[in-house]
Amino acid sequence: MHILVTGGAGYIGSHTTLQLLERGDTVTVFDNLNNSSTISLERVSQLIDKPINFIQGDLIDTNELHKLFSQFQFDSVVHFAGLKAVGESVAQPLRYYQNNVSGTLNLLQEMQKANIKTLIFSSSATVYGDPQALPVTEEAPVKPTNPYGQSKAMIEKILSDLCDSDSEWRIACLRYFNPVGAHPSGYIGEDPSGIPNNLMPFVSQVATGLRECLSVFGNDYDTPDGTGVRDYIHVMDLAQGHLAALDYLANQPSGKLLTINLGTGRGYSVLEMIEAFEKTIGKPISYRIVGRRSGDVASCYADPSLAEKLLDWKAARGIEDMCIDTWRWQSNNPRGYREQQ
Ligand code: NAD
Ligand code: UDP
Per-residue pLDDT reduced to its tens digit, 92-109: 999 999 999 999 999 999
pLDDT higher than 50, residue 294: yes
What's the pTM value of the predicted model, to 2 decimals?
0.98
pLDDT mean over 310-330: 98
Looking at every residue in the chain, the average pLDDT score rounds to: 97
Domain range annotation of the chain: 2-340
Percentage of the chain surpassing pLDDT 90?
Answer: 97
Calculate the dihedral angle through the C-alpha atoms of 204, 188, 153, 198, rounding to the nearest 10 degrees. Answer: 10
Ligand 1 pocket: which of 5, 6, 12 to mutate (most atoms within 8 A of CB): 12
Closest ligand to 123 CA?
1
Helix ranges (DSSP H) in 23-146: 38-48, 62-71, 86-91, 93-96, 103-113
Name the strand (E) or helix (H) holding 292.
Answer: none
Q: Mean pLDDT over residues 42-62, rounded? A: 97
CA-200 nearest atom, ligand 2: 20
Give the pLDDT of residue 339: 66
Q: In the beta sheet, which residues pair with residue 56?
A: 31
Rounded CA gap, 341 and 224, in Å? 44
CA–CA separation, 213 and 190 (whole Å): 20
Q: How much distance in Å is there from the Cα of 289 to the middle of ligand 1?
A: 30
CA separation (Å) from 239 to 82, 183, 205? Answer: 17, 10, 24
Instruction: Ligand 2, residue 126: give the atom nearest the CA.
Output: 24
Burial class (CB in 10 A: 0-12, 13-18, 19+), 320: exposed
User: Letter for the amino acid at 52?
Assistant: I
SS3 56: strand
CATH superfamily entry for domain 2-340: NAD(P)-binding Rossmann-like Domain (3.40.50.720)
For residue range 272-290, list pLDDT tens digits in order: 999 999 999 999 999 999 9
CA separation (Å) from 282 to 181, 216, 225, 276, 278?
18, 20, 22, 10, 6
Find the mean pLDDT for residues 128-139: 97
What is the structure's pLDDT at 338? 83
Q: Over 90: is that where the pLDDT of 3 sits? A: yes
Whether residue 272 contacts residue 216, with contact meaning beta carbons closer than 8 Å, is answered with no
Q: What is the DSSP letter of 136?
A: B
CA of 225 to the centre of ligand 1 (A): 32
Number of the ligand 2 atom closest to the C-alpha atom of 216: 7
Residue-wise pLDDT tens digits, 111-121:
999 999 999 99
Task: Give yes or no for residue 340 having a pLDDT over 60.
Answer: no
**What is the radius of gyration, based on Cα positions, of the chain?**
19
| Mean pLDDT to the nearest integer, 320-329 | 98
Alpha-carbon distance values, 52 to 39, 282, 320 (Å): 11, 38, 31
First-to-final CA distance of the chain:
33
Confidence grade of residue 295 (pLDDT, cut at 50, 70, 90): confident
Summarize pLDDT for 174-221 with one digit per residue, the tens.
Answer: 999 999 999 999 999 999 989 999 999 999 999 999 999 999 999 999
